[in-house]
Amino acid sequence: QVQLVESGGGLVQAGGSLRLSCAASGRTFSNYAMGWFRQAPGKEREFVAAINWSGTSTDYAVSDKGRFTISRDNTKNTVYLQMNSLKPEDTAVYYCAASKRTYYDNVGDMVYWGQGTQVTVSS
């Protein structure tokens, strides 16, 4: 069993920044890709960013590329999402997820999910 615990969410003004963290436990963290997803009220969960097992390859949603940066520290079993230039439309619950593969391919590969952390961006 894998436990994922997100932190770092909160209320921020438009244009501001937040850094989300996701601490993992329960299996060898460094063997698997990790991702961030978000779900806004009344909308489906959507992909935000993903990173491969070693941190050498990343993927981003088009809407987030250039503003968000995903990274990981395998010595701390933690993945991060640095979010800059936040917009009101970034308001959502952000979820961390762990893949069954070493690289990210699609959301169907994500087998473990955290409980989420709320990000609210005011205009």
Q: What pLDDT is attached to residue 78?
A: 96
Contact 79, 17 (CB under 8 A): no
Q: Residues 51-72: what's their mean pLDDT?
A: 94
Q: Residues 34-39: what's their mean pLDDT?
A: 98
Mean pLDDT rounded to a whole number for the chain: 95
Q: What pLDDT is attached to residue 62?
A: 86
Q: Residues 72-83: what's their mean pLDDT?
A: 96
**Distance (Å, rounded) from C-alpha 72 to C-alpha 93?**
20
